[in-house]
Structure 1
C-alpha cells in the first residue's frame, strides 16, 4: 500500500473516534491520541501510576488489528475487525508511571489505526 493510501486509512480510523488527534480543550480528561504503525507502539511516560483511563481504539481497512494497552503489570487487549465501522473502548488503571499502546495485525498493509486515551470518570 502506498503512503497516501495508508494515511487515508489512518484518517478514516481517526474519524471513527471523532478525533483529529489534537487535545480537546473542553476538560474531557484528554491524555493522548494518535495512529500506530503495525507492528508498533506509542509510549507515554507522563502518566502517574494508579490513573484510571478510558482507551478507545478504531481501525479502518481490510483485516483485524489487536490493540494492547500496557502499564506495568496492567494489561488490556482488544481485537478489532477493521471492516466494521465501530470503535472499541476499555478501561485500564495504570500500574506504572507509563502507558504503552500497541497495535499488531497479520495484514499491516491493508489497515489504518487510531486511538484516544482519556482519564476515566
Structure 2
C-alpha cells in the first residue's frame, strides 16, 4: 500500500538570525511576538501525531493503512490509489492555539471536521470515496500556531 505524507518542509535549513545589539543607553526592549519557528512548527506537528498515537490502539499496525502524516496549512495530501466506493475511517488531531478544519474529499463526497487544538483529543469520522482518489486537506487562520496530524484507514 502507498503511504503518503505531506509536510511543510522547505527542504533547506533556515539561516541563523544575526544577534541584535543592545541600545547604548542600556535599556532593554520587550521582545515582540514571533510566529512559530520551523522547529516550533515541527514540534506542534509531533504533538498532534502523539495525540493520534495515544488514542489509536492500531497506530503501529500498518494493516489497513491508507495514508498518514502532517499537513501544511493550507495544504493537502492526495492519494490516487484508493478505489471508488472505499469505506474509510479518518482520524485527525491538531496541537497548539487555534482551530484547524480538516476536509476529506473524493469527487462529490466531502466531509469536514473542525478541531479545537487547545483540546487534547482526536476527532474521527467515517468517509466513503466517490471516485478513485482521496484528498485530505487542512486549513486554519492560525497556521503559524498549530500543528496537524491525520491517519486514514480502511474500515474492515
Q: TM-score, normalised by structure 1?
A: 0.93
Q: CA deviation at 1:24?
A: 2.8
Summarize deviations over 1:35-55 as a string: whole Å, max 9, x none: 000001000000000000000
Equivalence for 1:81 = 116
Structure 2 residue corresponding to 1:107, chosen from 110, 117, 142: 142
Moved over 6 A (4+): none
* Structure 1 unmatched ranges of 5 or more: none
1:7 and 2:46 aligned: no
Tell me the number of residue pairs that the alignment of Structure 1 and Structure 2 aligns: 117
Q: In structure 2, what is the Cα distance between the partners aligned to 1:9 and 1:58?
A: 11
* Structure 2 unmatched ranges of 5 or more: 1-35
Equivalence for 1:55 = 90
Identify, as 1 or 2, the structure richer in strand.
1
CA RMSD of aligned residues (A): 1.4
1:24 and 2:61 aligned: yes
Bigger radius of gyration: 2
Equivalence for 2:24 = none
Q: TM-score, normalised by structure 2?
A: 0.72
Equivalence for 1:39 = 74
Q: In structure 2, what is the Cα distance between the partners aligned to 1:9 and 1:120?
A: 28
Q: CA deviation at 1:23?
A: 6.9
SS in 2 for 1:18: helix
Q: In structure 2, what is the Cα distance between the partners aligned to 1:119 and 1:23?
A: 15
Summarize deviations over 1:52-73 as a string: whole Å, max 9, x none: 0000000000000000000011
